[in-house]
A and B are shown apart, each in its own frame.
Chain A
Amino acid sequence: MKKAQDVIEKRDEYFAYGSVLEAVSQGLYPDRKHILREFIQNAYDALGDLRRQEPTAHLESVEITVSPPSVIIADKGLGMSDETMRRYRYLGFSGKERGTHAGFRGIGKYSAVGVCDKLIVRSSRLGVPKSYQVVINAAEMFRRLQEQKNTPLEDLLREHSEFNESAEDADRHYTFVELHGIHRDAAELLDDSIVRPYLVRVAPLPFDPAFTYAKEIRERLGQVLPGFLEVDVLVNGKPIYKRFLENCLRPTYEPVFATDSSTEPIAFSWCCQNAGKGQFREPGEQGTKGHRHPESGLVYRSSNFAVGDGNLTRETLWHTTPERAFYFFGEIHVIDAGVTPTSDRDNFEDTSARGRLFERCRAIAAMLSFEAGLQSRQQRFGEVVAGGAKLVAETEATLKAGALAAELKEDKTFQVQKVLEDVAKRLKQSSRSERKDKKVIRRAKQVLKRGERLKRALSAHGGSHYVVVDIAKELAMEPRTKAIYEAIISVIREEFRDDSERFEAVVRRIHEALRKGILC
């Protein structure tokens, strides 16, 4: 068996070889779309750097252009210096700082070399009258890896990348990245209809201007989160925004502290509850309940980039009543610099800081669960009162019109009694609650008053001024016929015991049929 020394001509001793590059470029992001996020993260950091250096500078949009066979990610952030651009070719080197920048490992850019033939980066730093270009010849690197076993990583990176410089206006500042010659197995990067929704979900975008609470939330986040930044992004010239869910209540805000006594928050959350009933749902087909809305739930954000989706917060925070996680939509912005997203940002690295974050954020879930329960109860109370009011009003009207069949009296009395009990029970609960809906309480009291009156009217035997329809009397039934009729009605009542409305409808139809058959 050949020794490594025989396979490659050694100038020195090497400690890293080409397979590392294969692992980074092909193993880092099985979901190719994350590669785009990686470069948007760099753009975000560049814009953040510009704002730190020039606080009044206007931050221009990051532009994503799909121009087959290339994808371009370009920003007018601070730009990179000569030194930074030279180091751009380094693998695993980063001058960025955790907590300040979204990216900091210096490996993400190499995820792109597995999906394109060339990675071309041009950058000019504000105030420097030069632009620098790095070209990483990815296709050549992989060709060499195939031809030559155990190529030292150093040789691979050095010999298949270029660095150039050129004159540029000193006031121009930008970074322009082209992933040229996108491979067929990463064609999704060239598909606008895939790229756009992905970025809408993960990127640090501004809220959709149509979202009523956009300004309010942005201002709160700006006050609380150090260096909070939203980045305008254009995909093929069109702006994209963070999604929001309509029909929501005003947002609530909650800081999360490391301990009960600390004053420095480790996270900050905002969320909006569904103004309707239960979970946010997508519109269903006619008459059916739609699926749970994919944008519902709370999403962790680190440097304003999404980490996981609504399911991650549900799994980590909602240990009881997990369905209530989707009664809300919102975000939990992680401030603790010790909490680091995993490379593919589907979770955080498993550290004690993460454990503490999840632990402390559970209070949010508990509070929201309570809120959801309260809201649910209030909503149900409102529905019960509305239903009661309707039943009472309709029964009163039927009685007044002399159209209530004697056979239905008992059922009606039972229904009214049941509703009144429900209203009374919920009224009692609601009166004890800290958050009272005075309008509903007032209405409930009215329903109870009218309902009691109605109950009395229904139970009166002969003394009531209301007339009920007695079909046996109306049709002058013989006692035997009347007995048969009553027996039939009793069977039907039993059949429709759980469906009073149908029972009522059947009785009415029987009356009509009898009248038609006997009187006409």
Chain B
Amino acid sequence: MLNRPQRFTPNKQVVRDLQCEVIRQRFSQRLGALSYFGLPSSSLDDVAQWSPLLQRITAVERGGAGKEWEIQNEMLMNAFRLGVSRKLTLLRGDIDSVLLSDVDSYGNKPSWPYDIVSLDYSGGLFYRNEGGRLCRLEAIKRVFQRQAASGAKEFLLFLSFNLDQIDQHEVHESLETIRRDLMRFGYAADEAIDSYLKHPCEQARLKLYVMNLVARLAAQESFDSESESPIFYMGNRDTEMMAFRFYFKRSSRTFTPRSPKERLNQVVNRRMIEIVNGKQNLTNLGLPLIKAQGPGEK
């Protein structure tokens, strides 16, 4: 039997709708002319849903080991079935490799820049390559570099991943850095950061880690970032998933190196959307907020 096309769970559908809402808000003047780079499902239901908004779609598909052609063929076939093949360019290979090397397994190149970069990973964020490097995080960094080098003025980044195999050391280090930065700005951050560190749910720490990380990577390439509330949901086979939505605009500031424009306390205080059975609620996971503005914060 052939592979059954992947279908969205109700929770995932809500995530897709929330992402779509951001696209419509941020690019209301250019709907229908947008370009997309990312990891769609092989059923392409997700891209087909957004197809009216898009003019150009670059999809990356690695395929199953040893049978790479199978899922790639399915994706191309579904693009034709759903009428989006005219917009679609398929890059064959691992997305991290494509982002790092800027070519797929057959030498095809992405056409930067893109308006929407959707990194909908089925695995975790802390994937390490054979050399032990966090290549996924490096790949995300390259997104900003490639967008900046190709003259992107603004773009959206959708990032989702599962909560398996978290690099606790990396996360803790990062949260400690956030604590130091907040304190440097005069915030009484100890209580809040300690609460994050002790919180039983990984999503609490990852919320802070990812938002801070992405904002910093963006700032290094002179992009100002604005984030939407992060999302926590249960994916296929009850996998815990998180999804992030960021909007970046080329900064008008000229000095380097850059620090994120979005204030750190805003990032910490951003509430999370939890999606359960297709319904969303806003929650701060019982974490304390940072209220007072420190003297150093301008």
A interface list, Cβ under 8 A from B: 63, 65, 67-70, 72, 74, 118, 120, 122, 131, 133, 164-167, 172, 174, 176, 178, 180-181, 234, 237
The CA-CA distance from A74 to B92 in the complex, in Å, is 20
A69 to chain B, nearest CB (A): 5
Q: Which residue of B lies closest to A132 (CB)?
A: B2
Residue B6 interfacial (CB < 8 Å): no
Q: Are the C-beta atoms of A165 and B1 separated by less than 8 Å?
A: yes
Q: Could you say which of A120, A166, A167, A174 contacts B73, with CB atoms under 8 Å apart?
A: A120
Q: A72-B76, A122-B77, A174-B80 are in contact. Are A237 and B1 (CB under 8 A)?
A: no
A–B pairs, 14, beta carbons within 8 Å: A63-B86, A70-B76, A72-B80, A74-B85, A122-B73, A131-B2, A133-B2, A164-B1, A165-B2, A166-B1, A176-B80, A178-B69, A180-B73, A234-B86
Q: Please name all residues of chain B whose beta carbon is closer than 8 Å to the beta carbon of A237 when the two chains form the complex.
A: 85-87
Of all A-B residue pairs in the complex, the 7 with the closest CB atoms, nearest first, are: A166-B2, A237-B86, A74-B80, A68-B106, A176-B77, A164-B2, A69-B106
Q: Are the C-beta atoms of B90 and A67 separated by less than 8 Å?
A: yes
Q: Are the C-beta atoms of A166 and B4 separated by less than 8 Å?
A: yes
Please provide the chain B residues from 56 to 95 with a CB less than 8 Å away from any CB of chain A in the complex.
69, 73, 76-77, 80-81, 85-87, 89-90, 92
Counting contact residues on chain B (CB < 8 A from A), the size range is: 10 to 19
Q: Please name all residues of chain B whose beta carbon is closer than 8 Å to the beta carbon of A74 when the two chains form the complex.
A: 77, 80, 85
Q: Which residue of A lies closest to B78 (CB)?
A: A176
The CA-CA distance from A165 to B2 in the complex, in Å, is 6
Q: Are the C-beta atoms of A120 and B81 separated by less than 8 Å?
A: no
The CA-CA distance from A74 to B80 in the complex, in Å, is 7
The CA-CA distance from A165 to B4 in the complex, in Å, is 11
The CA-CA distance from A176 to B85 in the complex, in Å, is 12
**Additional A-B contacts beyond A65-B85, A74-B80, A172-B81 (7; CB < 8 A):** A63-B85, A72-B80, A118-B69, A164-B2, A176-B80, A178-B73, A237-B85
B41 to chain A, nearest CB (A): 16
The CA-CA distance from A174 to B80 in the complex, in Å, is 9
The CA-CA distance from A176 to B80 in the complex, in Å, is 8
Q: Please name all residues of chain A whose beta carbon is closer than 8 Å to the beta carbon of B80 when the two chains form the complex.
A: 63, 72, 74, 174, 176
Q: Please name all residues of chain A whose beta carbon is closer than 8 Å to the beta carbon of B1 when the two chains form the complex.
A: 164-166
Please provide the chain B residues from 92 to 114 with a CB less than 8 Å away from any CB of chain A in the complex.
92, 106-108
B70 to chain A, nearest CB (A): 9
A117 to chain B, nearest CB (A): 8
Please provide the chain B residues from 229 to 253 with a CB less than 8 Å away from any CB of chain A in the complex.
none
Query: Taking each of A67, A164, A234, which has the highest tally of chain B beta carbons within 10 Å of its own beta carbon?
Result: A67
B103 to chain A, nearest CB (A): 11
The CA-CA distance from A32 to B156 in the complex, in Å, is 43
Q: Which residue of B lies closest to A131 (CB)?
A: B2
Q: Are the C-beta atoms of A178 and B81 separated by less than 8 Å?
A: no
Q: Please name all residues of chain A whose beta carbon is closer than 8 Å to the beta carbon of B106 when the two chains form the complex.
A: 68-69
